[in-house]
Amino acid sequence: MQLVIADTGPINYLILIGHIEILPALFHGVILPSVVRDELNHPKASATVRQWICNLPEWAEVRATSHTHTAIGRLDAGEADVIALALELHADVILMDDREGVINARSRGFRVAGTLGLLSMAAEHRLLNLAEAFDRIKRTSFHYQQEVMDQLLAEISG
């Protein structure tokens, strides 16, 4: 079983578009740093996201990091704690969208999947319709490049 640590972005957007259930289908379980839990439960988070984090499913677990994340670079607390916890637990995969965080995680040897990549993996496993999922995510505040979506759609249909 792969050890997976998730940042706020992928969890937030998968909840918002109604596809959070792809995570246990793809990975069996996901660990969230306590900072990520706090971000998902922030008053500015959507009610749907806050409700999900307050009723955490069995396949999701919250853990605190025992390391300080000063050595992780200039990342926000969520990304820094994700990488610190991944280092601490020897994780296999990090779920993260933040570009600087992704670069930092990959430089440390981690496999990283972002929200669009997760949706594409789910489509490959016939868990969802990728075009539909992309239409849904476009209606959120998710920042995307249409070219990336087009490429992923072409790979699925090709």
CATH number assigned to the domain comprising residue 39: 3.40.50.1010
Domain count, the chain: 1
Contacts of 85 (CB under 8 A, 6+ apart): 5, 31, 33, 63, 65, 91
Residue with structure tokens 């972005």? 9
| Arithmetic mean of pLDDT, 9-27 | 97
pLDDT grade, residue 65 (50/70/90)?
Answer: confident
- Domain-located, residue 120: no
- Domain-located, residue 151: no
39-77: b or e for each residue (b if 16 or more CB lie within 10 Å)? bbeeeebeeebbebbeeeeeebeebebeeebeebeebeb
pLDDT beyond 70 at 129 = yes
- Domain-located, residue 136: no
pLDDT beyond 90 at 74 = no
Amino acid 133: pLDDT: 98
- Domain-located, residue 108: yes
| Arithmetic mean of pLDDT, 17-44 | 96
Residue 12, domain extent: 4-115
- Domain-located, residue 148: no
Provide the mean pLDDT of the chain.
93
Q: pTM for the complete prediction?
A: 0.94
- Domain-located, residue 94: yes
Percent of residues, the chain, with pLDDT higher than 90 = 86
Amino acid 150: pLDDT: 95
- Domain-located, residue 13: yes
